[in-house]
Amino acid sequence: MAVEAFDVVDLIRVKRDRGELSTEQIDWLIDAYTRGYVADEQMSAMTMAIFLNGMERREIRDLTMAMIASGERMSFAGLGKPTSDKHSTGGVGDKITLPLMPLVAVFGVAVPQLSGRGLGHTGGTLDKLESIPGWRASLSPEEMFDQLRDVGGVICAAGSGLAPADGKLYALRDITGTVEAIPLIASSIMSKKIAEGTGALVLDVKFGSGAFLQDIERSRELARTMVELGTDAGVATSALLTNMNVPLGLAIGNANEVRESVEVLGGGGPSDVRALTIALAREMLTLAGKPDVDVEAALDDGRAMDKWREVIRAQGGDPDAALPVAKETHVVAAERDGVLVEQQALPFGIAAWRLGAGRARKQDPVQHAAGIDLHAKPGDAVTAGQPLFTLSADEPERFVRALEALEGSYRVGDAGEPVQDGGPLIADRITA
């Protein structure tokens, strides 16, 4: 029997006592955990020690590289065009990947968008796209490369071969109360993105009531950590800190978010969704060496829509097919004249989840037609009886718990009353 290089209990004590782990210790820890030598309860103790005491920049870099080394790395060197990707930390109504990918691909920059599924109140890009009849999320590496070469963009599921240590570690963090540890979030996200092989990466790091990290300073720390990791790994990386105090756009769900994305690709759509799509596209194109292209024109003249249709067809989907519609709806109307002064993002995300748009467990199915359509945003004048939002679900009994989640989350006040100040849509830009 081979002799192990370290004793995991000794390593746990180092982090428990606020010490630093060496590169060799971190490499061994991740390898030993991946192959099952380090037990879940031991790694649980380690993740809690990291959660409480943090890690130095060098340790986080070593952790990220060790997770990358646990699996395979992709390369797009043979594409003959630059690559640029985007990752969002997730929020309520965040469908930006859908219009963003084809918009960037219009300009000859390949977008290898490996996406995930929703869990809890934040929606998953793959769940949204699976509302489209025939569309498939799973592509082989060869299919992905061919589509990037021929079409210019792809949105698909990450293969199990990329950073498998991260998949195992994330499942453990999810049940041990350590998901929010910034070293673990940063290494989780960046191990997959660096292993993916993109040349440039833009991070959309959310803050506010509907975000993963609600405090803007914690979100800024996460953004800086991830930008440092990308830069250290030779990936051109930047981050935008974006607002998630109110839902993004007017649609929260799956099929309805696809509809809204198509509106944006057609030159319309809610102003905040359009603005963030354009800002992220400019950032991705700048990092890929194309800072001077007219992004807005590509949305308005049909080029982005044409690229969207091409990408959807390439993955077996029918861009002209009707999207699912829920069997039941419930409209919530204003009880008085006035102004919508409050609309908190998190309760609307939870309500959409309870309607069936999200899942409580990874194996749960989602209802593609379930969700919420907003008819007003903070600052809008409303009249008594005017719809504020519509709930959609296939089972009407879901409305009760969804409405419970929304109690106290929105309010109609008097004209002149202060409106919920969500702050600017983009609060900061962070670079190396």
What distance in Å separates the CA atoms of residue 97 and residue 182, rounded to the nearest whole number?
A: 23
**Cβ of 410: how many Cβ atoms within 10 Å?**
22
Clarify whether 87 is annotated catalytic.
yes
> How many residues would you count in the chain?
432
Catalytic residue, chosen from 88, 131, 188, 392, is 188
Buried b (16+ CB within 10 A) or exposed e, 144-181: bbebbeebbbbbbbbbeebbebbbbbeebbeebebbeb
Catalytic residue, chosen from 62, 85, 94, 166, is 166
Catalytic residue, chosen from 121, 173, 282, 368, is 173
Tell me the one-letter amino acid at 49.
A
Clarify whether 27 is annotated catalytic.
no
What distance in Å separates the CA atoms of residue 113 and residue 231, rounded to the nearest whole number?
A: 19
Token readout for 117 is 């599924």
What distance in Å separates the CA atoms of residue 47 and residue 388, rounded to the nearest whole number?
A: 43
What distance in Å separates the CA atoms of residue 380 and residue 382, rounded to the nearest whole number?
A: 6
From the number of C-beta atoms within 10 Å of its C-beta (0-12, 13-18, 19+), residue 414 rates as exposed
What distance in Å separates the CA atoms of residue 151 and residue 111, rounded to the nearest whole number?
A: 10
3-class DSSP state for residue 65? helix
Clarify whether 128 is annotated catalytic.
no
Token readout for 228 is 């440092």
Tell me the one-letter amino acid at 73.
R
What distance in Å separates the CA atoms of residue 326 and residue 287, rounded to the nearest whole number?
A: 41
What distance in Å separates the CA atoms of residue 370 and residue 353, rounded to the nearest whole number?
A: 9
Strand pairing of 84-88 and 200-207? parallel
Clarify whether 215 is annotated catalytic.
no
Catalytic residue, chosen from 15, 86, 117, 192, is 192
Helix or strand run (H / E) with residue 348: helix 345-352
CA atoms within a 13 Å half-sphere pointing along the CA-CB vector of 385:
0
The backbone torsions φ and ψ at residue 6, rounded to the nearest 5 degrees and listed phi first, read -140, 165
The backbone torsions φ and ψ at residue 112, rounded to the nearest 5 degrees and listed phi first, read -90, 85
Strand pairing of 153-157 and 251-253? unpaired
Clarify whether 173 is annotated catalytic.
yes
Catalytic residue, chosen from 61, 87, 274, 368, is 87
Token readout for 74 is 């992709």
Angle at 260 between CA 141 and CA 136, to 5 degrees: 25
* Residues with a known catalytic role: 87, 166, 173, 188, 192
